[in-house]
Amino acid sequence: METMTTNGITIIVETFYQAEHSRPLEQKFIFAYRVTIENHSPDTVQLLRRHWFIFDSSGLKREVEGEGVVGLQPVLEPNESHQYTSWCPLMTELGKMYGAFLMKKSSGALFDARIPEFRLVAPQKMN
């Protein structure tokens, strides 16, 4: 589990290898990740956009940008949290991700809440 706080917004990420959806012989490794966003600031905030950087151990780099997370742009009052689960395909057993969420305060001010770098590792690679 990885954690990072920016401007009172804490992002926590947990990862899970999805063996039942992966096809190692076809170089398809599927990972799920659960993201928890906690608002420890005094402001109400809304998540507007996501921006991910995704790397695998072959050197392949991808960037993913878009509105919200899994179709939502959650609003978090102070001391509220939002959790969602998504997934990522890789061509190798090892990879990593990091990024940022574009957040908007109730005042209209925008800021990036950084998503900590986290590793995607198939269990068979850990032996």
Mean pLDDT over 89-105 rounds to 97
| pLDDT tens digits, one per residue of 47-85 | 999 999 999 999 999 999 999 999 999 999 999 999 999
**Measured CA distances, 23 to 29, 31, 48, 55, 92 (Å):** 6, 12, 34, 18, 11
Q: pTM score, two decimals? A: 0.92
Mean pLDDT over 25-40 rounds to 96
Mean pLDDT of the chain: 95
Q: What is the amino acid identity at position 106?
A: S
**pLDDT tier for residue 125 given thresholds of 50, 70 and 90:** low
**pLDDT tier for residue 22 given thresholds of 50, 70 and 90:** very high
**pLDDT tier for residue 91 given thresholds of 50, 70 and 90:** very high
Q: Return the pLDDT at 71.
A: 92
Give dist(CA 124, CA 105) in Å, integer: 43
Q: Are 114 and 11 in contact (CB under 8 A)?
A: yes
User: First vs last Cα of the chain: how many Å apart?
Assistant: 20
Mean pLDDT over 87-116 rounds to 97
**Domain extents in the chain:** 2-118
**Measured CA distances, 58 to 37, 53, 76, 91, 115 (Å):** 30, 15, 38, 8, 23
pLDDT at 117 over 90: yes
Mean pLDDT over 5-29 rounds to 96
Q: In Å, how far from its chain's centre is CA 125?
A: 22
Query: Which CATH superfamily groups domain 2-118?
Result: ApaG domain (2.60.40.1470)
